[in-house]
Chains A and B, each alone.
Chain A
Amino acid sequence: GAGVSQSPRYKVAKRGQDVALRCDPISGHVSLFWYQQALGQGPEFLTYFQNEAQLDKSGLPSDRFFAERPEGSVSTLKIQRTQQEDSAVYLCASSLSVGNQPQHFGDGTRLSIL
């Protein structure tokens, strides 16, 4: 498809497990963003990639959160030793280039930690 694709759409894990969330941005998009949206709240910035370079990871809530984009296209957000407060929708967005650009959002991965 032409849009940002995220998988899985839903993920249920037990507390303490590791999870990996995938984002396929629009082909050719340079910038890629990860956001976390708790229930009833607006999204919160997690991290930003320009091609394969992670230029900003100031929003990652702890060192249990790790993101990568090794070839400058697909990105993976990994959460280690999950906790209940990690339950949220994780949104990925991409934009064509650097600077002021519209961001195109995926449908998100809804993560539930039991």
Chain B
Amino acid sequence: KNEVEQSPQNLTAQEGEFITINCSYSVGISALHWLQQHPGGGIVSLFMLSSGKKKHGRLIATINIQEKHSSLHITASHPRDSAVYICAVPYSGGGADGLTFGKGTHLIIQP
């Protein structure tokens, strides 16, 4: 089973700051997911990536397959970005798998 580690576990920052959340995993994978969960809310898929970098608005995700590491960046952070950000990879590394999740990073952006 793939093991996923995220850091930091908690992060509080001021509005406008550049945010970085890190994720590492133990077994080679076909793709990695970044997800967002608001308190009491459902989970929204932000990115799925298998190489390089993807950008959507102020969010950027990068992955280094060789190092088994991914980062999620938020530029010009805003209080509405406050949420739990979760990294997830296929349960056993392959494509037709359920996901195994990191414990999440609790992000608070203060005005």
Interface, chain A (partner B; CB < 8 A): 31, 33, 35, 41-48, 50, 55-56, 59, 91, 93, 98-108
* Pairwise interchain contact A105-B42, C-beta atoms closer than 8 A: yes
Contact of B98 among A42, A48, A104 (CB under 8 A): A48
Query: Could you tell me the distance between the alpha carbons of A93 and B48 in the complex, rounded to whole angstroms?
Result: 15
Which residue of A is nearest B4, CB measured? A42
B42, A56: Cβ atoms under 8 Å? no
Interface residues of B in 64-98 (CB under 8 A from A): 86, 88, 91, 95-98
Say whether, besides A100-B30, A103-B45, A45 and B99 are in contact (CB < 8 Å).
yes
Q: Tell me the bound Cα distance from A43 to B103 in angstroms.
A: 8
Contacts of A93 in B (CB 8 A): 43
Q: Which of chain B's residues have a CB closer than 8 A to the CB of A98?
A: 95-96
Please give the residue numbers on chain B whose beta carbons come within 8 Å of chain A beta carbons, in ascending order. 4, 30-31, 33, 35, 41-45, 48, 50, 86, 88, 91, 95-104
Q: In the complex, which residues of chain A have a beta carbon less than 8 angstroms from the beta carbon of B102? A: 42
- CA distance in complex: A45, B4 (Å): 13
Among all A-B residue pairs, the 10 with the closest Cβ atoms? A42-B101, A45-B98, A99-B95, A105-B43, A107-B42, A100-B31, A102-B45, A100-B95, A48-B98, A33-B98
For A44, list chain B residues within 8 Å (CB): 100-101
Contacting residues, chain B, for A104 (C-beta < 8 A): 45
Q: A99 — which chain B residues lie within 8 A by C-beta?
A: 30, 95-96
Identity of the chain A residue whose Cβ is nearest the Cβ of B44 in the assembled complex: A105
| 23 pairs from A and B in contact (CB 8 Å cutoff) | A33-B98, A35-B99, A41-B103, A42-B103, A43-B101, A45-B99, A46-B98, A47-B98, A50-B96, A55-B96, A93-B43, A98-B95, A99-B30, A99-B96, A100-B30, A100-B31, A100-B50, A101-B48, A102-B45, A103-B99, A105-B35, A105-B42, A108-B42
